[in-house]
Amino acid sequence: MTFKGINRVFFLGIGGIGMSAIARWFLHEGYPVAGYDKTPSPLTAELEKEGMTITYTDRVDAIPFEFTTNPEEVLVVWTPAIPKDSVLLNFFQAHFQLKKRSEVLGMITKDYYTIAVAGTHGKTSTSSLIAHLLKSAGKPVAAFLGGITQNYNSNLILPGKSKEAKLVVVEADEFDRSFLRLHPNEAVVTSADPDHLDIYGDEATILEGFREFIQLVDKKGKLYLQTHAWYRLGENLGTSVGVREYGLRSNGIHAENVIAKPGVFQFDYVGPRVQITGLELHIPGFHNVENALAAIAIAVDHGVTEAQIREGIKSFRGVKRRFEIHSNTQGAVYIDDYAHHPEEIKACLSSVRAMYPTQRLTVVFQPHLFTRTRDFAEGFSDSLSLADEVVLLDIYPARELPIPGVNSEMLMEGIQAQKKILIPKDQVMDYLKESSPEVLVTMGAGDIDRLVPGIADWTHSRTKPTGA
């Protein structure tokens, strides 16, 4: 698809995971691309290596000159994460055509057969696995993802030439109702738990948002609903699209003989058309087995063979910061995860418990957003109680201003772990060296990821691999 009259593209918030995927697409299509972000990151460094110009200064004179002239030729893509008082945002709003990331993604994918994956959690891993199964089987697929895949080291997957793509897999983000701008031929809803209440107001409204998304699915298409999500959304979805239920214990597409081992989960896939036994998934977790069920069902529908599915599942290395195992050594296991919702934490820690049932489990958690911490405080405390030891960090504010009385301390009383402590982020490394955890999990969607490389290096240095 072309953008008539557009000769260059500028991104406000280019370092965002969803924004950067679209920036990469435009660069691949031959457009000069530049952007602004608040702080440098490993992702922005990669974008600069690929040929994009990025500024970290919120001033008009920091914009490359060619992006400030001929406004009719410049597309400015922005994200609501940019503060309303941003100098650059106000400059572009006054003189240029601006479109939200979700609008542009909808424009790009409109003319492709689109498989959209929605859900308050699970959508990144599921969409990445769908894309991998299709691409590894030689299907002409492109994918816009919400994480960096380990197999492709990118959040954008393309065939040799993007114009050869016949299928597009896209992560359908519910934040800011972005998923309502898509045009799905097929859709997956991995979960529909309450979240983003700062946007939706209450649980009923976000559920209605998911129902509106389902209405967008092409009448000739398919809809895959995770069991609990279908229960939450209600039987009467008001759509003529056939619903296919999936889940670990679903009456429809489900898994049997699930075995949790350190570093791998084995399971059998049971679907209406095929059954595939002895699959090996090297991104552990019961929730990832469930995500794989939807991906396999879609792959089967698109002509991927049993042998290709078996190899695709086995070769999938997951998404960075989604149950990412950095160390699997005797007495020094280290896993990092993006979990920032009580249900995500519960799913991750339950799986870790199954993998390492006799070892002491320590979790370092950084809450994300004041509103989310306030709205789900009890749930956070309950899910964190699955660990033996909980290390809490201060709330990462992201786009929000502090809320009086809302802090990490409010979670402490409800946490039933044997040991719990609240410390500053810069003291984490020293604390871990003193406590020497057996199984360590770091969690959060904020800047806790900056600690991961140092923790991983330290963990690797502690013991020798077990060969598990």
Q: What is the pLDDT of residue 231?
A: 87
Q: Which architecture does CATH list for 324-460?
A: Alpha-Beta Complex (3.90)
User: Across residues 49-67, what is the average pLDDT?
Assistant: 95
pLDDT, the chain, mean: 90
Q: What is the pLDDT of residue 466?
A: 43
Q: What is the pLDDT of residue 432?
A: 96
pLDDT at position 237 over 80 = no
Enumerate the domain spans of the chain: 8-100, 112-315, 324-460
Summarize pLDDT for 303-337 with one digit per residue, the tens: 999 999 999 999 999 888 888 999 988 778 999 99
Summarize pLDDT for 263-281 with one digit per residue, the tens: 899 999 999 989 999 999 9
Contacts of 394 (CB under 8 A, 6+ apart): 366, 367, 407, 408, 424, 425
User: Across residues 352-374, what is the average pLDDT?
Assistant: 94
Q: What is the pLDDT of residue 467?
A: 42
Q: Are 336 and 364 in contact (CB under 8 A)?
A: no
What is the rounded distance in angstroms from the CA atom of residue 345 to the CA atom of residue 342?
5
Q: Could you tell me which of 244, 316, 225 has the C-alpha nearest to residue 279?
A: 316
Q: What is the pLDDT of residue 52?
A: 97
User: Across residues 367-390, what is the average pLDDT?
Assistant: 96
Residue 216: both structure tokens together:
């967008």
Summarize pLDDT for 66-90 with one digit per residue, the tens: 999 889 999 999 988 888 899 999 9
Residues facing residue 329 across a β-bridge: 332, 465
pLDDT at position 468 over 60 = no
Summarize pLDDT for 131-150 with one digit per residue, the tens: 999 999 999 999 999 888 99
pLDDT at position 206 over 60 = yes
Are 8-100 and 324-460 the same fold in CATH?
A: no
What is the rounded distance in angstroms from the CA atom of residue 161 to the CA atom of residue 147?
22
Q: Are 266 and 256 in contact (CB under 8 A)?
A: no
Q: What is the pLDDT of residue 175?
A: 74
User: Across residues 405-432, what is the average pLDDT?
Assistant: 96
Contacts of 399 (CB under 8 A, 6+ apart): 80, 81, 83, 369
Of the pLDDT bands very low, low, confident and very high (cuts 50, 70, 90), residue 20 is very high
User: Across residues 272-299, what is the average pLDDT?
Assistant: 94
pTM: 0.83
User: Across residues 397-406, what is the average pLDDT?
Assistant: 90
User: Across residues 118-137, what is the average pLDDT?
Assistant: 94
Between the ranges 165-174, 273-282, 394-403, where is the mean pLDDT highest? Answer: 273-282
pLDDT-above-70 percentage for the chain: 94
Summarize pLDDT for 178-205 with one digit per residue, the tens: 888 899 999 999 988 766 556 766 778 8
pLDDT at position 1 over 50 = no
Tell me which H or E stretch contains 94. helix 87-95
pLDDT at position 129 over 60 = yes
Q: What is the CATH number of domain 8-100?
A: 3.40.50.720
Question: What are the distances in angstroms from CA 21 to CA 129, 177, 183, 187?
Answer: 17, 19, 18, 20
Residue 47: both structure tokens together:
């974008």
In sign, the C-alpha dihedral spanning 362, 368, 372, 373 is positive
Contacts of 312 (CB under 8 A, 6+ apart): 132, 133, 136, 137, 299, 304
What is the rounded distance in angstroms from the CA atom of residue 293 to the CA atom of residue 288?
9
Residue 10: both structure tokens together:
């500028």
How many C-beta atoms lie closer than 10 Å to residue 24's C-beta?
Answer: 20
pLDDT at position 241 over 90 = no
CATH topology of domain 112-315: UDP-N-acetylmuramoyl-L-alanine:D-glutamate ligase (3.40.1190)
Q: Are 4 and 68 in contact (CB under 8 A)?
A: no
Q: Which residue has the tokens 């030439």?
A: 161
